[in-house]
């Protein structure tokens, strides 16, 4: 099988089978799988993703489309840097070696990629364009620098990415990681929050789950911003944001973030407050809030109620208010908010009900809308009416206004590591921040770099770091941070349209190919990569790089590939190939010691529940692997890898060879009998396989093809064979299977005497008239119970059906000479005779 696969891979390469032109009279179709990080090896999770895309690409080509199906490498990232530290070598060497190996693996799977458009994000010829784009964003005030919290390793004296923090400690030093306020670069994605949110409804070919996740991530909140005066210091106020300002008369405290500016100005730093601030400093993202117990500490400050100066509220530093959401301050209404209620119970704060509820709000917060009570001028109003009324009062008093907030924050793109795209900025003591001139791009990474594991090597590389200011020509330093790797993957799909373009994009080519018709990848990218790509596309549209507003017309999120986990007696993870099953128990192949089978989980390097692709290819071949990952489960569902499953697929492929030999030996003058049912099944299968592939029901398509295969096999085994239909049916079978298992089908197609390649052929056509049967079988019931069946011709009338079924002996037995009261017909299915 491997020889056949290598033969056809060579032919496809020599014939440039999958290279496409930007100038074609055919309609275009752009199918794209999320590009991989070059970790060194392709795993079967990748294979499933790419096999799905390959079926769609090959099928749409057969449907007459000019199909763009490219591949490239998301090549910057932390693993390369870690490998560089471990081996004291440049990450470029490790990365390019991995790319070479993975490209070879992808080709060995027979994927129909247009390799002439390959991109590599760590190539300066790629990232020079994004450096220029960043400078354009900076010129438009869409890129800026500000102080932000980062993970600081006090031993290695470096900033760590979130991925480098393991259980609160530095991945290398093991030191407890602290939070530090350092300058970071950001992109103003929040300027596009409303646009990104509104256009989600137009993404009709995206999964509802992804659209919902993006809506929640953007998190639009409509409410009010208003001010509370500090008691005994009325010149100073605390501005709060609330989505439920109508509950203002239920307020019992003001909650502020641990880093709210009022703390520096007015709060005495007691040991208790300092300890609490330190504790809170580890919570810097809203996703972390859900995991913490609500706590607070009193500041010693009070504010006065905006509508009743006799009411004073304590100001409390809380661990569930973040400075980067709203104003960094809220008013707490414990009766009608769960977080506020939890804190109020803990700190013995008052809980005042202001919305009618059939429950005890002292025990549980009532969070629904309703009718206002205990609320002065708001009494009797609905929640929505009260919200409008109270905002109007804020505006009259000049203390507040209607406002909108978003959960979405500006995108922090700074990474304090070497193996990333350099941020093209220079810091000058005289001129401040100075962009690198366009003519000096790209700013490339140095080759002579020392990886001792301490800090960012760019910080310790004087000849790279120290430059003259482009404005004043005085000594200055380069920005040593590099881009978040999501930067590269936010626009790569535009580059495939013409990967040799002298500018960031070839707009004419982008106008032809974009948007991507079907984008395929994991749902884990719903709120990061997919959102950033949408943001980039909108900005690129404004910069005249592309005409589209949205990058991906359709999105398909495939399920994960799972495998059982194994541990030895020392609790060490084992690879599946190290384990052998005996009866219902598992043992180590070499030591024969008992092995514990754990949960079936997503394949991962850490738990060693990986399947080695090359081993599987040697044993079963690429086609069998492709067939298994596509046939065993709906592609949107998780797939459990099983040896029996892939063995079954291998047997099916071998069966195709046997079928070919059997059919090839048939003589046309053999005793023949027309098999109309087989002919109908051929046309039925063509029609429904096409529909299944269009709807990504790939496992169902394969099941239908196997039904046809079984029917052809059954016909071959008869004494009287419908040779013409068998030959036609087998030809169709091979064509239908080609998108799934391209190597063996091309081989058989050639052996059948066909000159043209399958990859050049149209999808087989079906005849609608052939789908109709000459006869059909109906169930015959008496008083709703099955008594007989009868085969009718399709031309039969209803009266004839009634006459025939009433006269059937098995029916006459129950009629007992009586006339039926009523006969009910369900066309082509059931006759129900009522006695």
Specify the CATH number for the domain of residue 744: 1.10.730.10
Query: pLDDT band at 583, cuts 50/70/90?
Result: confident
- Residue 165: pLDDT above 80? no
Residue 830 and residue 748 share a domain: no
pLDDT at 825 over 80: yes
| Rounded CA separation 150/410 (Å) | 15
The CATH number of residue 399's host domain is 3.90.740.10
pLDDT of residue 377: 97
Beta strands in 277-410 (DSSP E): 296-305, 308-318, 329-332, 400-406
**Sign of the CA dihedral running 50, 55, 56, 60:** positive
Same structural domain, 702 and 752: yes
pLDDT at 17 over 70: yes
pLDDT, residue 766, reads 92
Per-residue confidence at 161, pLDDT binned at 50, 70, 90? low
Determine the pLDDT at residue 279: 86
Same structural domain, 636 and 605: yes
Classify the C-alpha dihedral 464-466-472-473 as positive or negative: negative
Q: Which of 210-219, 286-295, 449-458 has the lowest average pLDDT?
A: 286-295
Same domain, residue pair 754 and 663: yes
Residue 111 domain-assigned (yes or no):
yes
Catalogue the E-assigned strands of 132-219: 143-153, 158-160, 165-166, 169-170, 178-187
Portion of the chain with pLDDT greater than 90, in percent: 72
Tokens of 186: 């950001």
Same-domain check for residues 250 and 367: yes
pLDDT in tens, 64-123: 999 999 999 999 988 888 888 887 789 999 999 999 999 999 999 999 999 999 999 999
Domain boundary residue, one of 519, 537, 557 = 557
Average pLDDT, the chain: 92
Q: Which of 750, 771, 792 is where one domain is finished?
A: 771
Tokens for 455? 């800090």
**Does some domain include residue 479?**
no
Side-chain half-sphere exposure of 273, counting CA atoms within 13 A: 19
Asked if 621 and 649 touch (Cβ cutoff 8 Å), the reply is no
Ranges 148-152, 569-573, 712-716, most confident: 712-716
E strands within 396-504?
400-406, 411-412, 414-415, 425-428, 432-435, 466-468, 475-478, 482-483
Give the pLDDT confidence of 323-345 residue by residue, as tens digits: 888 899 999 999 999 999 999 99
Q: 453: buried, middle or exposed (CB in 10 Å: 19+, 13-18, 0-12)?
A: middle
> DSSP letters of 380-411?
T-BHHHHHHHHHHHHHHHTSEEEEEEES---E
Residue 474 lies in a domain: no
**Domain annotation covers residue 429:** no
DSSP codes, 225-283 = EEEEEETTEEEEEEEEEES-GGGGGG--EEEE-TT-HHHHHH----HHHHHHHHHHTT-
pLDDT mean over 457-466: 94
Structural domains counted in the chain: 6
463-511: per-residue pLDDT in tens? Answer: 999 999 999 999 999 999 999 999 999 999 999 999 999 999 999 999 9
Predicted local distance difference test score (pLDDT) of residue 816? 84
> What number is the average pLDDT over the span 692-712?
96
pLDDT at residue 604, rounded to an integer: 80
> What pLDDT score does 227 carry?
97
Q: Residue 285 pLDDT more than 60?
A: no
Instruction: Classify residue 245: in a domain, yes or no.
Output: yes
Q: Is the pLDDT of residue 163 over 60?
A: no
Buried b (16+ CB within 10 A) or exposed e, 713-730: eebbeeeebbbebbbbbb
Instruction: Report CA 429 to chain centroid distance, whole Å.
Output: 44
Q: Does the residue 789 lie in any domain?
A: yes
Q: Are residues 240 and 371 both part of a single domain?
A: yes
**The domain boundary residue, chosen from 557, 573, 589:** 557
**Residues 6 or more apart in contact with residue 406 via CB below 8 angstroms:** 190, 193, 218, 219, 220, 221
Rounded mean pLDDT, 732-743: 98
- 329 and 308, same domain (yes or no): yes
Decide which of 133 and 81 is more confident: 133
pLDDT-derived band at 310 (thresholds 50, 70, 90) equals very high
pLDDT at residue 631 in the model? 92
pLDDT band at 758 (very low <50, low <70, confident <90, very high): very high
Instruction: Let me know if residue 92 belongs to a domain.
Output: yes
The confidence score (pLDDT) of residue 288 equals 61
Extract the tokens encoding 313.
Answer: 């509220």
Assess whether pLDDT exceeds 70 at residue 287: no
Distance CA 333, CA 252 (A): 6
**748 or 795, higher pLDDT:** 748
Q: Check whether 150 has a pLDDT greater than 90.
A: no
Tell me what the mean pLDDT of segment 130-149 comes to. Answer: 95
pLDDT digits (tens, 9 = 90+) for 631-652: 988 999 999 888 889 999 999 9
| 244 and 382 fall within a common domain | yes
pLDDT, tens only, 607-625: 888 888 898 999 999 999 9
> Count of CB atoms within 10 A of residue 162's CB?
8
Whether 692 and 765 map to the same domain: the answer is: yes
| Contact (CB, 8 A) for 76 and 485 | yes
Domain span at 740: 647-771
Phi, psi (deg, nearest 5) at residue 475: -55, 135
Shared domain check, 108 and 156: no
Task: Identify the band that residue 670 occupies on the pLDDT scale cut at 50, 70 and 90.
Answer: low
Residues 7 and 130 in one domain: yes
Choice between 763 and 171, residue whose per-residue pLDDT is larger? 763
Q: Would residue 86 count as lying in a domain? A: yes
Do residues 272 and 242 both lie within one domain?
yes
Average pLDDT over residues 416-445: 96
Residue 51, domain CATH: 3.40.50.620
Instruction: Tell whether 605 is in a known binding site.
Output: yes
Most confidently predicted of 42-51, 384-393, 672-681: 384-393
Strand-pairing partners, residue 146, are 184
């Amino acid at each position: 099988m491997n020889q056949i696969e290598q033969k056809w891979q060579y032919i496809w390469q020599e014939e440039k089978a999958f290279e496409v032109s930007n100038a074609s009279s055919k309609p275009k179709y752009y199918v794209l799988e999320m590009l991989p990080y070059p970790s060194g090896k392709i795993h079967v999770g990748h294979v499933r993703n790419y096999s799905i895309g390959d079926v769609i690409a090959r099928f749409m080509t057969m449907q007459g489309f000019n199909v763009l199906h490219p591949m490239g490498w998301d090549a910057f990232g932390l693993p390369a840097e870690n490998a560089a530290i471990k081996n004291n070598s440049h990450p470029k060497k490790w990365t390019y070696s991995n790319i070479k190996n993975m490209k070879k693996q992808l080709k060995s799977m027979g994927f129909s990629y247009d390799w002439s458009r390959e991109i590599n994000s760590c190539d300066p010829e790629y990232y020079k364009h994004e450096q220029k784009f960043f400078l354009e964003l900076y010129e438009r005030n869409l890129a800026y620098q500000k102080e932000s919290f980062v993970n600081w390793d006090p031993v290695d004296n470096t900033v760590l990415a979130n991925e480098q923090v393991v259980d609160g400690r530095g991945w290398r030093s093991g030191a407890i990681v602290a939070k530090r306020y350092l300058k970071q670069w950001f992109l103003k994605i929040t300027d596009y929050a409303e646009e990104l949110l509104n256009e989600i409804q137009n993404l009709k070919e995206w999964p509802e789950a992804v659209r919902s996740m993006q809506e929640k991530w953007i998190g639009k909140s409509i409410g009010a911003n208003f001010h509370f005066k500090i008691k005994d210091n009325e010149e100073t106020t605390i501005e709060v944001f609330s989505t439920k300002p109508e509950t203002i008369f239920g307020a019992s405290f003001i909650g502020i973030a641990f880093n709210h500016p009022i703390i520096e100005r007015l709060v005495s730093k007691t040991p208790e407050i300092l300890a609490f601030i330190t504790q809170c400093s580890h919570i810097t993202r809203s996703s972390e809030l859900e995991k913490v117990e609500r706590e607070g500490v009193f500041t010693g400050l009070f504010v006065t109620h905006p509508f009743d100066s006799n009411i004073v509220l304590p100001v409390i530093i809380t661990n569930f208010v973040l400075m980067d959401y709203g104003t960094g301050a809220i008013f707490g209404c414990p009766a009608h908010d769960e977080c506020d209620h939890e804190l109020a119970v803990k700190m013995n704060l008052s809980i005042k009900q202001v919305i009618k509820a059939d429950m005890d709000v002292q025990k549980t917060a009532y969070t629904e809308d309703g009718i206002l009570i205990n609320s002065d001028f708001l009494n009797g109003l609905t929640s929505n009416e009260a919200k409008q009324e109270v905002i109007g009062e804020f505006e009259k008093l000049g203390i507040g206004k209607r406002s909108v907030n978003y959960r979405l924050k500006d995108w922090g793109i700074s990474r304090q590591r070497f193996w990333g795209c350099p941020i093209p900025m220079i810091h000058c003591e005289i001129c401040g921040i100075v962009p690198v001139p366009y003519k000096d791009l790209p700013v490339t990474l140095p080759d002579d770099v020392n990886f001792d594991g301490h800090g960012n090597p760019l910080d310790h590389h004087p000849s790279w770091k120290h430059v003259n200011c482009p404005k004043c020509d005085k000594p200055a330093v380069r920005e040593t941070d590099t881009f978040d790797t999501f930067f590269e993957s936010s626009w790569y799909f535009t580059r495939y349209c013409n990967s040799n373009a002298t500018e960031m994009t070839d707009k004419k080519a982008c106008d032809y190919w974009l948007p991507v018709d079907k984008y395929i990848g994991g749902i884990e990218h719903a709120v990061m990569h997919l959102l950033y790509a949408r943001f980039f596309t909108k900005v690129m549209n404004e910069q005249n790089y592309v005409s589209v507003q949205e990058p991906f017309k359709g999105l398909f999120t495939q399920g994960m590939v799972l495998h059982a986990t194994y541990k030895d007696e020392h609790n060490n993870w084992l690879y599946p190939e190290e384990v052998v099953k005996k009866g219902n128990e598992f043992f180590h192949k070499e030591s024969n010691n008992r092995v514990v089978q754990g949960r079936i989980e997503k394949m991962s390097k850490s738990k060693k529940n990986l399947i080695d692709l090359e081993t599987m290819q040697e044993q079963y071949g690429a086609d069998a692997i492709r067939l298994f990952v596509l046939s065993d489960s709906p592609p949107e569902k998780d797939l459990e890898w099983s040896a029996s499953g892939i063995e079954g697929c291998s047997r099916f492929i071998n069966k195709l060879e046997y079928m070919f030999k059997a059919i090839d030996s048939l003589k046309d003058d053999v005793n023949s009998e027309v098999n109309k049912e087989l002919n109908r099944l051929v046309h039925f299968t063509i029609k429904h396989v096409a529909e299944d592939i269009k709807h990504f029901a790939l496992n169902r398509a394969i099941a239908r093809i196997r039904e046809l295969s079984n029917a052809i096999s059954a016909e071959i085994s008869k004494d009287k064979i419908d040779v013409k239909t068998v030959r036609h049916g087998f030809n169709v079978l091979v064509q239908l299977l080609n998108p799934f298992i391209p190597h063996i089908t091309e081989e058989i197609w050639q052996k059948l005497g066909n000159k043209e390649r399958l990859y050049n052929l149209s999808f087989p056509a079906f005849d609608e008239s052939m789908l109709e049967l000459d006869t059909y079988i109906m169930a015959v019931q008496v008083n709703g119970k099955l008594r007989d069946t009868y085969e009718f011709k399709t031309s039969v009338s209803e009266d004839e059906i009634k006459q025939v079924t009433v006269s059937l002996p098995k029916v006459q037995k129950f009629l007992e000479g009586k006339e039926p009261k009523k006969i009910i017909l369900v066309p082509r299915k059931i006759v129900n005779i009522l006695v």
